[in-house]
Amino acid sequence: MRFGLDVPTTGEYGDARVLAQLAREAEESGWDGFFVWDVLPEGQPVIDPWIALTAIALQTSRIRIGLLVAPLARHRPYLVAQRLANLDQLSGGRVICTVGLGDGSETFAAFGEEGDMAVRARQLDEGLTILHGLWTEDRFSYSGEHYQLREVSLRPRPVQVPRIPLWVAGGWPYRAPFRRAARWDGVSFKSINAREQRWLSLDEFRSGVAYVRSQRTQSGPFEIVMSGETPRDRRQGSDIVTPFREAGATWWIEEGLGWSLEEYRERIQYGPPV
């Protein structure tokens, strides 16, 4: 199992220099991944994730970096492909991208973005196809409901071959995101039951793992990512994490939601739960 961090980009965290320093401390403390938010401003400071990730890439050398979660429907997918390829080059092949529909339809609508989840889902599927095509084909064309590309090429390509890993975020028990994830490189479970708004139980996680595996039609590596919170005490942390690892989780992502910067920095410096 690998261990990552889900790091805010708002409020105290809304400074690329702060996040780059935090990422360097995380790398020194033994964490395997440092993933930042991609959110719209809602009355508080927020740092653009692309600027933050550039600073993070320059201040680290080993830790995996990326977005958690990128709402692909409100981005031009060909620009996302270019930016992530550039980041992969800059970081020496350390980028992971997690995508999803994004939260808060009202916030999306306030900025003139698509608020309908069904439409955003179709945009997301088209966007994923475009990322894959631009990263793997010399000349790529696409004609869909929302995007059209004609004989375009992307240079430089990502360092990683065949491409940057794509994970899909999903809130169990909603199954559509898990069917989507099964077509790509990994699924990132939200830490709460999306329907009942409570912590996801171990049995529910097992059900989600079984479902996404049943939807896989290809072989190859597939990451199963679980998120949550663990205390500083490593024995207690291990007691929380180990059952999820035994149930199939390959990553544990420590959440920073609700933590002050100094509280989260202290947790990060203490290291992974096992």
Tell me the pLDDT band of 28, cut-offs 50, 70 and 90: very high
Percentage with pLDDT > 70 across the chain:
99
pLDDT 10s digits, 133-143: 999 999 999 99
pLDDT higher for 113 or 249?
A: 249
Residues near 233 by Cβ (< 8 Å), separated by ≥ 6?
Answer: none
In the predicted structure, residue 104 carries a pLDDT above the cut 70:
no
Q: What is the mean pLDDT of residues 269-274?
A: 93
State the DSSP H helix or E strand holding residue 70, giving kind and residue range, or none if neither. Answer: strand 64-71
- Amino acid 257: pLDDT: 84
pLDDT 10s digits, 192-216: 998 998 999 999 999 999 999 999 9
Mean pLDDT of the chain: 94
Bridge-based pairing of strands 64-71 and 33-36 is parallel
Quote the tokens at residue 36: 């930042």
Q: How many CA atoms lie within 13 A of 196 on its CB side?
A: 8
- Amino acid 215: pLDDT: 98
Tell me the pLDDT band of 116, cut-offs 50, 70 and 90: confident
Q: How far is CA 118 from the centre of its chain?
A: 21
Question: 178 and 187 in contact (C-beta within 8 Å)?
Answer: yes
Q: What is the mean pLDDT of residues 143-152?
A: 96
In the predicted structure, residue 189 carries a pLDDT above the cut 90:
yes
Check residue 68 and give left, alpha or beta (phi > 0: left; psi -120 to 50: alpha): beta
In the predicted structure, residue 109 carries a pLDDT above the cut 80:
no
Bridge-based pairing of strands 198-199 and 192-193 is antiparallel
Q: What is the mean pLDDT of residues 226-233?
A: 93
pLDDT higher for 40 or 166?
A: 166
Distance CA 17, CA 82 (A): 23
- pTM of the complete model: 0.95
- Residue 92: count of CB within 10 angstroms of its CB: 13
In the predicted structure, residue 38 carries a pLDDT above the cut 90:
yes
